[in-house]
Amino acid sequence: DAMVIQNPRYQVTQFGKPVTLSCSQTLNHNVMYWYQQKSSQAPKLLFHYYDKDFNNEADTPDNFQSRRPNTSFCFLDIRSPGLGDAAMYLCATRDGSSTDTQYFGPGTRLTVL
């Protein structure tokens, strides 16, 4: 029944050790977003894909990369996590042709030791 799925729900990594977060969707939406939400803060957009077109926010650190191998999957790669990257990472999708509504996954909480 889940429409936007994020794995894992909780991820622990070590300082500087690369980590990959996964998002998949069953909605067949062509737009996918990655947001970072630090504790007690609002979500902040990192980047998004419109189909295969990648769009990076101007203030997204170079440490963050993304891949979208197909419509259903999107990955967030953090090349060298720092303590400041500990956050909840939210994936969202949207049908770019028909709606302005974004549908969010449950999020992955990243802890950096």
Nearer Cβ to another protein, position 61 or 96? 96
Number of H helices, E strands in the chain: 0, 11
Instruction: Give the binding-site size for another protein (rule: CB under 8 A).
Output: 25
Contact between 48 and another protein by CB under 8 A: the answer reads yes
Contact between 102 and another protein by CB under 8 A: the answer reads yes
Asked if 34 and 93 touch (Cβ cutoff 8 Å), the reply is no
CA distances in angstroms from 15 to 18, 35, 82, 109, listed in the order given:
9, 21, 5, 15
Give φ, ψ of 25 to 5 degrees: -140, 145
When binding is defined by CB under 8 A, the residue of 38, 41, 79, 113 that contacts another protein is 41
Dihedral in degrees, nearest 10, Cα atoms 104, 39, 111, 84: 110
Find the shortest distance in angstroms from Cβ 7 to another protein: 13
Contact between 29 and another protein by CB under 8 A: the answer reads no
The residues of the shown chain that bind another protein, judged by CB under 8 A, are 4, 6, 31, 40-45, 48, 50, 55, 90, 92, 94, 96, 100-107, 109
